[in-house]
Amino acid sequence: MNIVVCVSGGGTNLQAIIDGIRNGKISNTKITGVICNNAGAYALTRAKEAGIDGICISPKDYSDRDEFNRAFLDKMKELNPDLIVLAGFLVTIPREMVETFRNRIINIHPSLIPSFCGVGYYGLKVHEAALARGVKVTGATVHFVDEGTDTGPIIAQKAVEVLPGDTPKILQQRVMEQAEWIILPQAIDMIASGQITVTDGIVQK
């Protein structure tokens, strides 16, 4: 299964996928491209060190969003992956890409959806909201991407304890280490081995 991973930042989830393929936790999968909207992202360094083509494409390089969306979709069609993985990717996926790659785009979100998700909930903001609400358990979710924001069929979730004294940064790190970097490779492996189907918007394993 050929995958393209879309990133915007540090690329720790990309690294978990690279490592998972190397150590056999992810079977039958090859990363054929990394797309990034931020030329300075360390994720591009991780891709380069792993010998993977890094492609930088940003809405900032185009006169309007429609032009970017067309260029982004053209590039994705050219790469033609079996699966698109959004790993810390902060750009809205064009509707036409969701339609073209229906149930072939997955995203990792750092909360237990439907909590602390949707427009405006990304990165540290998610953990700030969880701490502000006083939840005792949070976690991460892998889901298929549909036309909404964090609203597609849920594939995998993993819970993580919130501890006294947690700051957003400490909690983010624990959620990445104990949840994101585990369930994202697992989800990719399950899809690669044909274990996942979607029926009436619900994932069947």
The answer to whether residue 20 forms part of the interface with ligand GRF (CB under 6 A) is no
Give the count of residues interacting with ligand GRF (CB under 6 A). Answer: 16
The answer to whether residue 111 forms part of the interface with ligand GRF (CB under 6 A) is no
Alpha-helical regions (H) of 9-143? 12-22, 42-49, 65-79, 95-100, 124-133
In the residue annotation, 143 being an active-site residue is answered as no
Q: Which two tokens stand for residue 167?
A: 């700051």
Q: Which two tokens stand for residue 201?
A: 């918007």
The answer to whether residue 13 forms part of the interface with ligand GRF (CB under 6 A) is yes
Q: Which of 3, 5, 9, 190 binds ligand GRF (CB under 6 A)?
A: 9
Element (H, E) at 183: helix 181-192
The answer to whether residue 180 forms part of the interface with ligand GRF (CB under 6 A) is yes
> Do 8 and 89 contact (CB within 8 A), yes or no?
yes
- Window 37 to 66, contacts with ligand GRF (CB under 6 A): 43
Q: Are strands 83-86 and 105-109 parallel, antiparallel or unpaired?
A: parallel
Choice between 176 and 188, CB closer to ligand GRF: 176
**In the complex, which residues of this chain contact ligand GRF (CB under 6 A)?**
7, 9-14, 43, 87-88, 108, 110, 123, 172, 176, 180
